Amino acid sequence: MNLVIDVGNTLTKIGVFNHSGLVHKTNVQQVDFKKVVREIKDDYPLLSNAVISSVSNLEKENIDFVKKRFSTLVVDHLITFPFKNLYETPQTLGIDRLALVAAAVDQYPNKNVLVIDAGTCITYDFKNTKEEYLGGAIAPGIRLRYHSLNNYTAKLPLLEIKSPEDLIGKSTNEAIHSGVIFGVLHEIDGLIEEYCNIYPDLTVILTGGDAHFLSKRLKNSIFATSNFLLEGLNHILSINKNK
């Protein structure tokens, strides 16, 4: 069994896999990290391997805590990935994006796949039928757009995510919701259409914290999954275990 740890910008996500199947998932703050890992170890005594991916900063003592209890792979750009990376600056490529592409290769082999991760940022990552990673795009996420309107203007309020009731906002709050949400939706739909013009047989995966909110509102055909990154990390661990 594998312990999969994804340290994101907001939360740390932890999954337990039995081979390729996810049997447990939880979100945790760093202050509770050791306690939760200890509890998971007690609940799943067959756990022997772990993988850690971090786009934020997981404290060294927490990493060491995991290493003392499991055979641990810390993902970096030097390990083995199941695709050819054609990104021109691979050392700057986020570990989370690499894991998403690994999941795409594992679950959709020999297909053109666009993975859209809707979280703090919205990232777009594309791999082709030859299992080559070509790159993608990075854009502000939904909450980041709300915060930007509040931080960089004198009077616009900070609002929580809300689906607009109408295209035309009849108050400042309604106008913000319309601008942010419809802006994101049209951006995603537009980019998908641009990719489809080049790759008509495109498979689109939507994942990340805002995937469920967006999936019901997008007009393009997509596969929405909340566990794609964890599944990618588990696959990366499986191909690096014996190296």
- 120 belongs to an annotated ligand binding site: yes
Please report, for residues 129, 150, 151, 179, the alpha-carbon distance to residue 173 in angstroms, rounded to integers and kept in the order given: 44, 12, 15, 10
- 12 belongs to an annotated ligand binding site: yes
The amino acid occupying position 74 is V
Angle (deg, nearest 10), helices 60-67 and 33-43: 10
Q: Please state the φ and ψ torsions of residue 161, each to the nearest 5 degrees.
A: -60, 135
Assign domain 2-74 one CATH number from 3.40.50.150, 3.40.50.300, 3.30.420.40, 3.60.10.10. 3.30.420.40
List the CATH code of the domain at 84-232: 3.30.420.40
**In tens digits, what is the pLDDT along the chain, a chain of 243 residues?**
999 999 887 789 999 999 889 999 999 888 889 999 999 999 999 999 999 998 777 788 888 999 999 999 999 999 999 999 999 999 999 999 999 999 999 999 999 999 999 999 999 999 999 999 999 999 999 999 999 999 999 999 999 999 999 999 999 999 999 999 999 999 999 999 999 999 999 999 999 989 999 998 998 878 999 899 999 999 999 999 866
Tokens of 212: 């469920």
Cβ proximity of 195 and 116 under 8 Å? no
The catalytic residues are: 96
Q: How much is the pLDDT for 241?
A: 83
Half-sphere exposure of 175 (CA within 13 A, CB side): 6
CA R_g for the chain: 19
- 95 belongs to an annotated ligand binding site: yes
Cβ proximity of 233 and 99 under 8 Å? yes
Domain boundaries defined on the chain = 2-74, 84-232
